[in-house]
Structure 1
Amino acid sequence: MNSFRYSDDEIGAVYRVIRERRDMRHFRPDPLDGALLTRLLQAAHLGPSVGFMQPWRFIQITDRDLRARVHALVEAERQRTAVALGERQDDFMRLKVEGILECGAVLVAALMDDRERHVFGRRTLPEMDLASVACAIQNLWLAARAEGVGMGWVSLFDPGQLGELLHLPPGAKPIAVLCLGYVDQFYGKPMLEQQGWAARQPLHELLFENSWGSPSALATGMQSNSD
């Protein structure tokens, strides 16, 4: 017996929130209560980080003019991305890729400055600071879904331009614009899957054993169960 195991209902809730988390683009404009936003940020701050460096920094965007300027940077990059996509340009332009002007709250997640002094766990993998911030964002995302709040991660922006707009110190870098807010409904499937942009790949195709490309016994079982 595993005395550290949660109850079946508690475990079910954890898997449910993971399964039902969505990257949201459609929001209601209702503001988020300060206590709720604090809880979500505290969940983010409990994320794991390499060497316990806690490299995340969050900037709450409360000024409407500043929010509009952030949106303008995103829109400019959306246009550039569409051109870079070539033959999929028209499909991309039909997608709604953000809800910055509509959502109840906007946060910018950034990497801290002076990161080079943190060597623990980063000497050969310096990008682990980015992985750590991603873990914090995922914590926030799951907590938001459990609270009935939608969240969308926007990465369409020039980091240098956004950093300058928000007066980030040298060495710091914005990595995400996070839209949070109440929604009329959560997507039944990821929006990009619903819109035919992409589909989730089967797990058994992404799981190897002992070496790259070597079939896994677990993967074989997964494939059998899905047939």
Structure 2
Amino acid sequence: MADPNGRPDHAFPEAQRDGVYRAIFERRDVRAQFRPDPIPPEVLARLLEAAHHAPSVGFMQPWDFLVIDGREVRERVHGIFERENARAAECHTGERGALYRRLKLEGILESPFNLCITCDRSRGGEHVLGRHSIVETDLFSTCLAVQNLWLAARAEGIGVGWVSIVDQFDLAEVLGLPENVYPLAYLCLGYVDDFLDRPELARAGWRQRLPLAGRVHGNGWGEALEAPALFEALAAREGSR
């Protein structure tokens, strides 16, 4: 089937396309709205399959998934967070420091279970196609698996929170990871009471979303975008949100 310009039309039907964009725009980093309801195994299997279908450089697929529902393990991870969060709080003083200390930044114990997505930095062998110049492409690829899971979770009505305030070496020790396996993302998952209309940090006044039009450059950094129609379209999109 072709579009009006004669090109092959591979676009999704409008309702499906809107669903993809809705998942993108309504995805939230959830910290405080978790319910105790368990996620059915078939739903979790769908989320993990979505993550496993992420693209990866050289098709190396460097990820593994640790499903963590044991209370003792989560309490040890929560202890790491508490220590690191106290250290991070020292970086902020005055009103900013007071705001930081009021923020809820994890749901390790409140969520039904945690999920650690790791990156095996030796996966694919010494010479992975496409990785010769940029060694970190294994980490980038694993981030795509995280995003796949996150968007699929939003479509399923499941909240996800990424706990980044942890010491990765201590986390690896708690989880018994091999030396070549890096704990890239420690996530909290569960059904939620609601999804916030705006990112939590924006609602709290910590930081606001930057205008997209100011983040798009022309043929080099800082050069004007020689496409007035695109600039107008970007501004119109931001004005509609």
Alignment TM-score, normalising by the size of structure 1: 0.94
1:3 maps to 9
Which residue, 6, 12, 15 being the options, matches 2:21? Answer: 15
1:121 maps to 130
Distance change in 2, residues 1:212/1:113 (3 Å): closer
CA distance in 2, matches of 1:50, 1:159: 23
* Contact 1:51–1:118 (Cα < 8 Å) also in 2: no
* Contact 2:160–2:189 (Cα < 8 Å) also in 1: yes
Aligned length: 227
CA distance in 1, matches of 2:224, 2:112: 46
Query: Secondary structure, in 3 states, of the residue corresponding to 1:174?
Result: strand
Q: What is the Cα deviation at residue 171 of structure 1?
A: 1.9
2:171 maps to 162
- 2:194 aligned with 1:185, yes or no? yes
CA distance in 1, matches of 2:153, 2:101: 28
Query: Secondary structure, in 3 states, of the residue corresponding to 1:107?
Result: strand
The runs of at least 4 aligned residues of structure 1 exceeding 4 Å deviation read: none
What percentage of aligned pairs have identical amino acids? 46
1:36 maps to 43
CA distance in 2, matches of 1:190, 1:110: 25
In structure 2, give the amino acid aligned to 1:210: N
In structure 2, give the amino acid aligned to 1:92: Y
Which residue, 43, 53, 62 being the options, matches 1:55? Answer: 62
CA distance in 2, matches of 1:215, 1:52: 36
* Contact 1:204–1:222 (Cα < 8 Å) also in 2: no
CA distance in 1, matches of 2:220, 2:60: 32
CA distance in 1, matches of 2:129, 2:92: 38
**RMSD of equivalent CA atoms:** 1.7
In structure 2, give the amino acid aligned to 1:187: L
Q: What is the Cα deviation at residue 222 of structure 1?
A: 4.4
User: What stretches of structure 1 of length at least 5 have no aligned partner?
Assistant: none
Query: Secondary structure, in 3 states, of the residue corresponding to 2:207?
Result: coil
2:86 maps to 79
Query: Secondary structure, in 3 states, of the residue corresponding to 2:66?
Result: strand
Which residue, 215, 220, 226 being the options, matches 2:231? Answer: 220
Q: What is the Cα deviation at residue 84 of structure 1?
A: 2.5
Q: What is the Cα deviation at residue 76 of structure 1?
A: 1.1
In structure 2, give the amino acid aligned to 1:147: E
Query: Secondary structure, in 3 states, of the residue corresponding to 1:111?
Result: strand
215-224 vs 83-92, which deviates more?
Answer: 215-224
136-145 vs 89-98, which deviates more?
Answer: 89-98
* Contact 2:161–2:187 (Cα < 8 Å) also in 1: yes
CA distance in 2, matches of 1:89, 1:64: 31
CA distance in 2, matches of 1:45, 1:192: 29
Distance change in 2, residues 1:53/1:81 (3 Å): same
* Contact 2:60–2:128 (Cα < 8 Å) also in 1: no
* Contact 2:69–2:112 (Cα < 8 Å) also in 1: no
Q: What is the Cα deviation at residue 85 of structure 1?
A: 3.4
User: What stretches of structure 2 of length at least 5 have no aligned partner?
Assistant: none
- The structure having more radius of gyration, on CA atoms, is 2
